Chains A and B, each alone.
Chain A
Amino acid sequence: MENQEFEPKIVAFVCNWCTYAGADLTGTSRIKYGANVKIIRFPCTGRIDFMLLMKAFENGADGIIISGCHPNDCHYSTGNFHARRRWVVFRNLLNFSGIDTERIQFSWVSAAEGFKWADVVNNTIEKVRALGPYENYKKINVPTLFAKEDNNE
């Protein structure tokens, strides 16, 4: 078991119209990628709340992929532009707080880019695998995980 390679847990937050459809195309085209990435479908990248990203790390994600429509291609015309601004700020905040932004991969994957989706996923798995498990979060004292001894105070 010890020699086994670390398999990171990666959550992908994707928009319904481009990347989700792109990932469907990856499937339809039978292109293979790692099974450790699991997709959560949002209507638009504009819907992705930064709090959800925080929750993902807190609940054991080692990496995160956020992906949506290319600029100008948003189904809702501008959701991805708004999201992009938020990420600029949020990345800055995370970085300043010592949260590893290397573990978050942002990408634009269109409905036609089945290959790109597989690449994004596989590259992110590689990158996060190299970074190792996100220990910082796992070390945080959460009451649900309190050890038997008295940690309270």
Chain B
Amino acid sequence: MEPIIKIIKSASLATIVDKLKGRYPRLYAPVKKQELVELEVINGFNDIAQDYLLTTQSVKKLAFPRVEKILDYTLQKGNIQQQSPDTSNFPETVLFGIRPCDASGFRSLTAIFNGDKPDEFYKSRYEKLIIISFACNKADAYCFCTSVGGNPGNTEGSDIQFTPVDNDEMLVEILTEKGKAVADLFSDLLSDCDKPVDKQAYLANVPVVFDVNKVIDNTTKSFNNEMLWINQSLRCIGCGACAFVCPTCACFDIQDEQNMKQGARLRLWDSCGFSLFTLHTSGHNPRHIQSHRWRQRLMHKFSYMPEQLKVVGCEGCGRCSRACPVDMNIKEHLLQIAEL
């Protein structure tokens, strides 16, 4: 639908949150927890972090949880009962105050999960999400959304987007029908936008550092450039921090947890950075060293996904770089590849 543009007083945000909370008990917003900013169910406006760049973890956990039960079973002799969780009953969930790069990240996840045959769990959860994003008015050295096709005011994936503008006012973009229905809850607080607002002027400045098409081309060509990958990943310690905070990483593991009488089949986050990710039962590991795993990570996002799913598997949020224990800055590495 054609976006509806409105203006709202920043002071009204608390009222909006109250109204949303009244209608949607599962209202998630960034919450400050010591060093972390986490997306959590809030009780009221005061719970929301006042000053944050991004949540530490991405929002993907709301559609692709860390631990997702996909099957229940009971074990009785000669009688094994199975039951899948009812995916039609996931509650409606509002994500309030997330960033544009998070909202647009669902594009990659949707391409992966719903590509050929929709993944029931992901699909049902994602459909129940109402995404109210806040455009970014600041960025840091790790941000590079503009280099991968995004921008601080990107509305893709959002149902409503708020952008702080002058005079304690916020620009409200109602982007989807879903967004419109939600905005009706606080339509009394919205005023018409009498003059055109230059949204761009209020957004953070995120310079473009590389040409993403160059990255795509060069990555694809560099599969056999062993030294490139070794040198880039020499300091990689092979943890899963980057994959787990990434809004688009979608690899998972399936595990059964059971005791003698019952069990559950779980879908769990996994990471291609782990040495055991590709380990065969035979003992053979096709990606036996970390550089191969690092190559896989970049190839997947910048070669395979663009080729097969027609999306770049990166939103430029920079979370992986921030979370990396050894300061592997992906922006640097991509720039190096672009300049090959």
Contacts and interface: CB of A to CB of B under 8 A. Distances in A.
Given A152-B69, A153-B65, A146 B264 contact: yes
A143 B67 contact: yes
Contacts of A144: 257-259, 262-264
A150 B90 contact: yes
Nearest to B266: A143
Given A144-B262, A144-B264, A153 B66 contact: yes
B91 interface: yes
Interface residues of A, number: 8
Contacts of B61: 153
B247 to A, nearest CB: 15
B41 to A, nearest CB: 9
B68 interface: yes
Interface string A52-63: 000000010000
A152 B67 contact: yes
B66 A143 contact: no
A107 B258 CA distance: 32
A146 B266 CA distance: 11
Nearest to A144: B264
Interface in B246-302: 257-259, 262-264, 266
B236 interface: no
B53 interface: no
A146 B85 CA distance: 11
Interface in B54-96: 61-62, 65-69, 85, 89-91
Interface string A131-148: 000000000001110100
B110 to A, nearest CB: 19
A142 B69 CA distance: 11
A51 B336 CA distance: 46
A150 B263 CA distance: 17
B106 to A, nearest CB: 16
Nearest to B91: A150
Nearest to A151: B69
A143 B264 contact: yes
Nearest to B121: A152
A57 to B, nearest CB: 14
Interface in A6-41: none
A146 B69 contact: yes
27 contacts: A59-B259, A142-B257, A143-B67, A143-B69, A143-B257, A143-B264, A143-B266, A144-B257, A144-B258, A144-B259, A144-B262, A144-B263, A144-B264, A146-B69, A146-B264, A150-B85, A150-B89, A150-B90, A150-B91, A152-B65, A152-B67, A152-B68, A152-B69, A153-B61, A153-B62, A153-B65, A153-B66
Given A144-B263, A152-B67, 13 more contacts: A59-B259, A143-B69, A143-B266, A144-B258, A144-B259, A146-B69, A146-B264, A150-B85, A150-B91, A152-B68, A152-B69, A153-B61, A153-B66
